Structure 1
């Protein structure tokens, strides 16, 4: 799907962003997209026919000045963005996902996922959830798990709702894109390893989050989050310097034109630096990897309205552009 002309005037913060594009009948390629909706094919500009966005991130410190120069240079051949299809901006090797990182969202989920037999008033259960959040923040313990790159799809692609998914839900998230390997980095060092930011809609089937057959095992993230296309990503990777402070970005998701999520990253319990640092204490983060930072309040469980065939989700995050994805029911096999 090409970018609609009405969206081109406010693509992203800063003078340029990275994208993965293709002509309607061609192979995908790494692109520099300028703020006036023009495209520079980076294979030609950097003289590398096999170049990918992940290759650029592998050498981010050296590449970034060259990209900045290209964005301001009138010499490279350019083409209108509207002529191209927009894909997910990068193919990560690893996807680190954060759960329970927006205070109000977690409280809402705690109330919605009432355990069988728990007849306490809602106010009491909300107070319990708030206490849990306060304790997690004080103990400095983010919650991170692993997602599959195969779940990623483009920012304007249709999303197939599996026939087995009884309660598919949306979860718009800010995603940090790693630009330098990070292993056991401190919170103070963490942002130096982030090349830029993009947006992800981390869809979840609420009916399969918890293993009812084995409650002692807990959550089943493979089943609930990793169906093909369950992570629409992009459209762009915006350099970290252009985004600036991620402590007050607005996340907005509309379902069929009605606002469902509309919250600031101020509601995060753990900020981007803390999430990247925490993940790096166990795993080695690699260039192109994603660190999703959790989703704010306003998911379908809160509204009592889950995703259905034909639904259209419009999502945006300050400075990072916009997604539009349509839900299509998968035919049962």
Structure 2
């Protein structure tokens, strides 16, 4: 008996030429306009995700076809999805947390750096076994395209980058187990979760704690994409390489193996409190190598180039307000 052929690898995105943005299916350097190929309204990637289980066979059929393709070159690439909800994970890369803890240990500490690293590493291992991820809410209005300029607001002096793997939900998830959580993930994309470091902690009343609204949700502070790659074409979300370059110099270079809580545990954790909906984003945290680590924050004219294995590349330029 012949072995069934594997489906042609494809991705989803949102594009425009001269008119309104349209959802597109990407194979190589070609794009099929899904607003024409699928009789669904409204014509958005969110509409596709709302019908994800039924849409997949249709998408595979279109990917194998030879008609109705346009060249990717010349199209504007928008954020692949405009989600209903955005969930963001903090302190989720082991080496990043260790670096931060060691860098901020008291100046009069009697620990050597090696001892401090060993101590914090033990704490992270215990956290992975016994604790829950740290997750907070972001705003969809912060999302921008993978090639759009990022405006640095005048009210922050420490804008920073944070390259992250983003899981995109394809099926409602409420109180799912880690073992079942990945069945609710449609695919993955790239996010750069910018942060105004000087505004993370409230200076007027430290007891309040963090201010994620102002620190992370300025317009354009979440470049997303270029594409949504279906989960079937991502061999292992727990073994992807993340690389962010600033003006050509590598600043972040890490594997998702370094996550404290993997994608399944993050999705499961969020679903214990709320219902994840199709198109929702679960950002999975950023590895070591942020601007605060290098003592170099974002400035007017900086160019960030971010890649994750198999998910493409986003390239954004910073512009002072």
The normalised TM-score by structure 2 is: 0.94
Say whether 1:278 aligns with 2:269: yes
Structure 2 residue corresponding to 1:62, chosen from 49, 54, 65: 54
Aligned partners of 1:62, 1:87: CA distance in 2, in Å?
A: 25
Does residue 187 of the first structure (1) align with residue 181 of the second (2)? no
1:30 and 2:23 are equivalent in the alignment: yes
Could you say what secondary structure the match of 1:254 adopts? strand
Provide structure 1 residue ranges, at least 5 long, that are not aligned to the other structure: 1-12
Deviations 1:140-169 (A, max 9, x none): 311111000000000000001111111111
Q: Which residue of 2 aligns with 1:259?
A: 250
Q: Quick one: which of 105, 125, 136 aligns to 1:134?
A: 125
Match of 2:14 in 1: 20
Instruction: Give the secondary structure class of the aligned counterpart of 2:92.
Output: coil
Match of 2:209 among 183, 193, 218: 218
Residue 291 and residue 122 in structure 1: after superposition, are their counterparts in 2 closer, same or farther (change >3 A)?
farther
Q: Distance in 2 between matches of 1:61 and 1:181?
A: 12
Q: CA shift at 1:14, angstroms?
A: 6.1
Distance 1:109 1:169 in 2: 15
The CA distance in 2 between the partners of 1:132 and 1:224, in whole Å, is: 27
TM-superposed CA distance for 1:15, in Å, is 1.8
TM-score by length of 1: 0.90
Contact 1:170 1:204 in 2 (8 A): yes
- The 3-state SS of whatever aligns with 1:83 is coil
Q: What secondary structure does 1:136 align onto?
A: helix
Please, which moves more after superposition, 49-58 or 127-136?
127-136
Distance in 2, matches of 1:132 and 1:210, equals 23
Would you say the 8 A contact 1:180–1:195 is kept in 2? yes
Q: 2:81 aligns with which of 78, 90, 102?
A: 90
CA RMSD for the aligned pairs? 1.6
Q: Distance in 2 between matches of 1:188 and 1:298?
A: 31
Residue 32 of structure 2 corresponds to: 40
CA distance in 1, matches of 2:12, 2:100: 35
In structure 2, what is the equivalent of residue 246 of structure 1? Answer: 237
Q: Helix, strand or coil: the match of 2:238?
A: helix
5 Å matches for 1:231-242? 231-242=222-233
1:304 counterpart residue number: 295
Unaligned runs of at least 5 residues, structure 2: 1-6
Provide the residue aligned with 1:73 in structure 2.
65
1:156-191 deviation digits (Å, cap 9, x = unpaired): 000011111111111000000000000000001100
CA offsets 1:1-30 (integer angstroms, 9 cap, x no match): xxxxxxxxxxxx96210000000x211111
Q: Pairwise mapping of residues 91-240 of structure 1 onto structure 2 (< 5 A)?
A: 91-112=82-103, 114=104, 119-120=108-109, 123=113, 125-240=116-231
Aligned residues: 313
Distance, in Å, in 2 between the alignment partners of 1:217 and 1:329 is 30
Q: CA deviation at 1:132?
A: 3.2
- Counterpart contact for 1:111–1:122, Cα < 8 Å: no
1:193-239, Cα deviation, whole Å (9 max, x unpaired): 00000010000111111113222221111111111100000000000
**For structure 1, which segment, 202-211 or 279-288, has the greater mean C-alpha deviation from structure 2 after superposition?**
202-211
Work out the CA distance in 1 between the residues paired with 2:74 and 2:203. 48
